[in-house]
């Protein structure tokens, strides 16, 4: 598996290494592209390259894509990406240049990746640039609220929507994520404040810089697990009925690839693969990702 990192994480290649790769490419036997009629052109293009390039966010998000202490990259999405590439019959290449989830979409729209498997919310705005499969997993929108600020408002948790949906209330979200749109949709009167990452949002909640942060229930739970001492100061609330559906993304022109991926998701959910992955990464019996 080959991984393309962001420019700041790439090692600088010296001249001798460049020449070595050049000579290797020059004299290596050519692998012919799939013959016309053997497979659909969407797959012929991928087979001709000999690899499936999958866009994935540059920042680890457990349990979807995360490095273990030994450097191994594992996760729910990583396993899926590996399986898709194997079923197509090519190598897997991960493009992890994207620093926001919107940039993950751009990689597919610009054909710098064949597909995206990256904990990607299938929003209507993003669907103007790429095609989305049927959802392969569903998360839920969550709020992490500053307990002290909530107490000052003298409001019950049942009135949380009314408490937050007023002018002057600040809600933090990750910049370039679907939650900018979700927060504006859920709390149109509040001020939505973008931060570079979820840790920055949570720090802002803790010091009272913002009233609450909004993200999915998985990331809210991850942060609380990593910072158990914060339970005295923050309250996590699931927004009932507010789902965050995650899907794969394909280029707008790759209709047959989209069809194939939808079929893959259906079979994955019917043949036990989905249950196995959920048990592996989300259940109490999940593997140790440290």
Distance CA 182, CA 215 (A): 9
How many CB atoms lie under 10 A from the CB of residue 110? 11
**Which of 197 and 12 is assigned the larger pLDDT?**
197
Interaxial angle between packed helices 76-88 and 255-270, expressed in degrees from 0 to 180 and rounded to the nearest 10: 120
pLDDT reading at 148 higher than 90: no
261: nearest Cα among 246, 270, 248, 271: 248
Give the contacts of 140 (CB within 8 A, at least 6 positions apart): 216, 217, 238, 239, 242, 243, 244
Distance CA 133, CA 247 (A): 6
CATH fold of 140-244 reads D-Maltodextrin-Binding Protein; domain 2 (3.40.190)
pTM equals 0.83
10: nearest Cα among 42, 68, 58: 58
**Cβ contact 108:118 at 8 Å:** no
Q: If residue 77 lies in a helix (H) or strand (E), which one and from where to where?
A: helix 76-88
The distance in angstroms from the start CA to the end CA of the chain is 21
pLDDT reading at 46 higher than 50: yes
Is 140-244 the same fold as 2-11+18-136+247-281? yes
Domain boundaries of the chain, sorted by first residue: 2-11+18-136+247-281, 140-244
pLDDT digits (tens, 9 = 90+) for 80-125: 999 999 999 999 999 999 999 999 999 999 999 999 999 999 999 9
The pLDDT assigned to 155 comes to 55
For the record, the structure tokens of 111 come out as 């054909």
**Summary mean pLDDT of the chain:** 88
CATH fold of 2-11+18-136+247-281 reads D-Maltodextrin-Binding Protein; domain 2 (3.40.190)
The pLDDT assigned to 265 comes to 98
- Average pLDDT (64-71) is 94
pLDDT reading at 193 higher than 60: yes
Residue with tokens 């959910």: 269
């Amino acid at each position: 598996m080959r991984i393309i990192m962001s420019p700041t994480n790439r090692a600088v290649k010296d001249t001798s290494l460049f020449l070595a790769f050049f000579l290797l490419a020059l004299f290596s036997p050519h692998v012919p592209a799939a013959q016309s009629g053997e497979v659909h052109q969407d797959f012929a293009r991928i087979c001709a390259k000999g690899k499936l390039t999958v866009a994935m966010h540059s920042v680890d998000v457990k349990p979807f894509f995360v490095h273990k202490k030994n450097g191994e990259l594992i996760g729910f999405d990583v396993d899926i990406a590996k399986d898709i590439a194997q079923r197509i019959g090519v190598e897997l290449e991960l493009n992890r240049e994207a620093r926001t989830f919107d940039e993950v979409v751009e990689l597919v729209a610009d054909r710098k990746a064949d597909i995206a498997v990256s904990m990607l919310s299938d929003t209507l705005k993003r669907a103007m640039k790429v095609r989305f499969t049927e959802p392969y997993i569903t998360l839920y929108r969550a709020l992490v609220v500053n307990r002290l600020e909530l107490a000052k408002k003298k409001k019950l948790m049942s009135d949380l929507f009314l408490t937050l949906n007023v002018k002057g209330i600040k809600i933090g979200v990750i910049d370039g994520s679907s939650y900018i749109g979700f927060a504006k949709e859920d709390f149109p009167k509040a001020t939505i404040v973008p931060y570079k990452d979820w840790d920055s949002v949570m720090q802002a909640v803790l010091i009272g810089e913002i009233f609450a942060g909004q993200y999915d229930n998985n990331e809210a739970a991850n942060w609380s697990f990593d910072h158990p001492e914060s339970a005295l100061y923050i309250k996590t609330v699931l927004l009932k009925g507010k789902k965050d559906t995650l899907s794969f993304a394909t280029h707008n022109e790759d209709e047959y690839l989209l069809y194939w991926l939808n079929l893959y998701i259906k079979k994955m959910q019917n043949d036990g693969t989905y249950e196995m992955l959920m048990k592996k990464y989300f259940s109490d019996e999940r593997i140790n990702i440290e």
